[in-house]
Structure 1
Amino acid sequence: MAGEAVNLAGEVMKFIDLSPETALSVAGIGFLGGVLSGFLGSGGAFVMTPAMMALGIPGIAAVSSNLAHKFGKAIVGSKKHAKMGNVDARLGICMIIFLLLGVNLAVKLQETIYSTLGKAGSNLYISIVFVVLLSGLSIFIIKDIVESGKNPSCKSRNTLADKISKINIPPMIHFKVANVRVSLWFVALIALATGWLAGTVGVGGFVGVPAMIYLLGIPTTVAAGTELFLAIFSGASGAFQYALHGFVDIRIVLLLYLGSLLGLNIGANATKMVAEHKIKLVMAVVIFMSAVSRAFAIPKYMVDLEMANFSTAFTNVLDMAAAISLYGGSIVGVIMIIGYVVKFKRNSKVDTNYAQSSGH
């Protein structure tokens, strides 16, 4: 039976009928998202939200259920990263207030759009945000990888981060784990943007993590771990506010947990076995394919809102292309991670055998 919720307008929302096949799909989405989130600190939800939308779950319900799932998953993920020394607690604490403000603003805007334009309007808004931000971000990361490849001797800390660190706007704070000193105002802006995106599309880390890396000069693994720490608070705040309006489907949340907690451990462990530029490459691939997927989905939402007049056959083909690009990109990302880990272990075994033979 379809999940139901009553929103402020008194309308009954039906999310989706959970057949065994659909339930397995949701758990699989959780697993893929868990691996990517543990590995990147952000990659999970920007795959999981559109994947749930592809199954027919309204965008606002996908976002809210994802936030509820994100809360518990982030506790596990941040604890795992903290043990590996990847969480800068001081940085996280400085970002929390601005993060929650951003979430608050996003939830109110989402609810306004849904009450005004309905499911199609909310889906269109979420998809446009995904396409614009993910496209720009993937291009930026790929450009950085290419430039680093041309000049491998250059410092991992980029020129922009160097310039920002020299802008002396009090209060200036030194973050010991991240090993950076920067103005609190830059940290606040990143936190606000991360919170707004978390409340809008169910994930803010796909901007928060790269922003910490490229604007603040924070190491990739520390940015990923700190983002998971922040996700505890953005997830709890956003899920609570959406739940008050009946948009959280607990069945979906539990199925996402089922898959993601296993995937999260795999992804987090992999970060210590993979070079930083390879982590960035996986991030770029997954982000770009997610953007392509949402671009394919936009025409159908425009038809539903009577903003365009495309044939049903055409929109069905685009729907299929959206699903293929989304799942394909996620699977490729996971395969890349597994491949890097296998190669690392193989090389480690060879080095160990060589050391033992040399000892003899």
Structure 2
Amino acid sequence: MVDPHVVESAGIMTQIFDAHPWYMLGLVVLGFIGGTISGFIGSGGAFLMTPGMMNLGIPGVIAVSSNIAHKFGKAMMGSKKHSELGNVDKKLGFFLLITAAAGISLAVFVNKYFFDKMGKDGSDLYVSTFFVVVLSIIGSFMLKDALRSKREPGTGPSDTLLKMSRKFQLKPMIHFKTAKVDISLAALLVVGLATGYMAGTIGVGGFIGVPAMIYLFGVPTAIAAGTELFLAVFTGGWGTFNYALHGYVDLRLVLLLYVGSLPGIYFGVVGTKVVKELYIRMVTAVLILLCVISRLFAIPVNCKNLHLIDMSKDTIAMLEMGSKIFLFGSGLVATFLILFWTFRAKARERNPIEVSYSTSVE
């Protein structure tokens, strides 16, 4: 017997592609934005791409599952590039994978439950609420820390959580040569589980994995980003398999996202080597919070469609437009800044004499 909810989601997807041919270009652009940001901050860019697809009318569970499938191939490319630059600790990635796979399986079960019981708006409401609660906390902490580093030049990421975590470390301790850190096995298992659940719920696990590696484990930012992409190769494959079993992976979405993301991720990865770490952290934090605002605008619309609250059509239209503006506007600006910083740094590398002369004249 065919699952009626799978038929419903497939019908929604077909209507979107049939009625709006420009969606294809929109998805390619969304893929390029996500790919560039992914390579730059090591998060997979899904924190922007999942709500971006939802803003285009794609059900939350389909957006998450298709993004995970897309993330699998994109992570392979990003991980390879980071590995060439020496930014991947494979041993650390495999230890995190131990429980990340279980976290993804649990997240798929919960996501499917909401879609089965409440349909598209129920799935969107669950994904958006989880997104807002978790990422607002992470984004606020990262922005606060980045601003502290800006006020105090030369300081890296805050070591407050690192010092606290070392007081409660449980043996056995595992040494990671590339990252140059010793980490408790228990802490690795907990972070792996959280990363997997977050990846399976909203298509982005990097915002648990990357901050945890930086602030709890003391891993350098570039290595944390590269290791997260390495981990995403495996979590993406496992998540795709689990969601595909229920018919929630749309290959049309995946292929269109690839068209834009594969060239985008190259520029993002190169940017990590020529852009100051402080800029990377600030871009990450601001983008998270802007995407959180975008999802905040969308939540009342889902509640209205589920008959939980009452709103006028004008209010709904205003909220939907605000959600799109915050999401796509922030993504385009961030992508422009990343490309600008990257090309400017590369130009200075090619013409050091001209740059030096120009600077002295100014």
* TM score, norm. by length of structure 2: 0.92
Q: Deviations over 1:125-145 (max 9, x none)?
A: 000111112211121111101
1:7 is matched with 3
Equivalent positions of 1:316-327 (< 5 A) are 316-327=317-328
Distance 2:169 2:204 in 1: 31
Q: CA RMSD in A?
A: 1.9
Distance 1:158 1:192 in 2: 23
1:143 is matched with 144
2:258 is matched with 257
- Partner of 1:170, secondary structure, is coil
Distance 2:127 2:355 in 1: 53
Q: Which runs of 4+ in 1 moved over 6 A?
A: none
Distance 1:43 1:113 in 2: 24
2:212 is matched with 211
1:190 is matched with 191
Cα displacement (A) at 1:123? 0.3
- Partner of 1:230, secondary structure, is helix
Cα displacement (A) at 1:157? 5.9
Distance 1:57 1:156 in 2: 37
1:121 is matched with 122
Q: Deviations over 1:62-116 (max 9, x none)?
A: 1111111111111111011100001000100111121001001100011111111
- Partner of 1:181, secondary structure, is strand
Cα displacement (A) at 1:354? 7.6
Distance 1:204 1:66 in 2: 12
Distance 1:254 1:290, change over 3 A: same
What amino acid does structure 2 have at the position aligned with 1:163?
A: M
Distance 1:262 1:140 in 2: 31
What amino acid does structure 2 have at the position aligned with 1:15?
A: I
Does 1:344 pair with 2:345? yes
1:180 is matched with 181
Question: Is residue 7–residue 247 contact of structure 1 (8 Å, CA) maintained in 2?
Answer: no
Question: Is residue 297–residue 322 contact of structure 2 (8 Å, CA) maintained in 1?
Answer: yes
Cα displacement (A) at 1:351? 3.3
Distance 1:314 1:261, change over 3 A: same
- Partner of 1:271, secondary structure, is helix
Question: Is residue 157–residue 214 contact of structure 2 (8 Å, CA) maintained in 1?
Answer: no
Distance 1:236 1:82 in 2: 19
Cα displacement (A) at 1:344? 2.0
Moved more, 340-349 or 131-140: 340-349
Question: Is residue 128–residue 298 contact of structure 1 (8 Å, CA) maintained in 2?
Answer: yes
Moved more, 342-351 or 96-105: 342-351
Moved more, 44-53 or 333-342: 333-342
Cα displacement (A) at 1:339? 2.5
1:90 is matched with 91
What amino acid does structure 1 have at the position aligned with 2:187?
A: F
1:314 is matched with 315
Distance 1:155 1:64, change over 3 A: closer
Q: Deviations over 1:274-320 (max 9, x none)?
A: 11111001101211111010000001100111110011110111000
Q: Deviations over 1:128-180 (max 9, x none)?
A: 11111221112111110122223224454613213324544111011111111
Distance 1:104 1:8, change over 3 A: farther
Cα displacement (A) at 1:12? 3.8
Q: Deviations over 1:10-40 (max 9, x none)?
A: 7442233324311111111111000000111
Distance 2:156 2:325 in 1: 37
Distance 1:123 1:143 in 2: 29
Cα displacement (A) at 1:268? 0.7
Distance 1:93 1:10, change over 3 A: closer
Question: Is residue 44–residue 71 contact of structure 2 (8 Å, CA) maintained in 1?
Answer: no
- 5+ residue gaps, structure 1, are 1-5
Distance 1:322 1:241, change over 3 A: same
- 5+ residue gaps, structure 2, are 358-362
Question: Is residue 164–residue 182 contact of structure 1 (8 Å, CA) maintained in 2?
Answer: no
Question: Is residue 167–residue 183 contact of structure 1 (8 Å, CA) maintained in 2?
Answer: no
Distance 1:165 1:347 in 2: 41
1:3 is matched with none
What amino acid does structure 2 have at the position aligned with 1:262?
A: P
- Partner of 1:56, secondary structure, is coil
Question: Is residue 304–residue 310 contact of structure 2 (8 Å, CA) maintained in 1?
Answer: yes
- Partner of 2:182, secondary structure, is strand
- Partner of 2:138, secondary structure, is helix
Question: Is residue 43–residue 206 contact of structure 1 (8 Å, CA) maintained in 2?
Answer: no
Question: Is residue 102–residue 199 contact of structure 1 (8 Å, CA) maintained in 2?
Answer: yes
Does 1:33 pair with 2:34? yes
1:104 is matched with 105
Aligned residues: 352
- Partner of 2:273, secondary structure, is coil
- Partner of 2:309, secondary structure, is coil
2:360 is matched with none
Cα displacement (A) at 1:246? 0.9
Q: Percent identity?
A: 46
- Partner of 2:174, secondary structure, is strand
What amino acid does structure 2 have at the position aligned with 1:209?
A: V
Distance 1:10 1:288 in 2: 32
* TM score, norm. by length of structure 1: 0.93
1:243 is matched with 244
Question: Is residue 70–residue 231 contact of structure 1 (8 Å, CA) maintained in 2?
Answer: yes
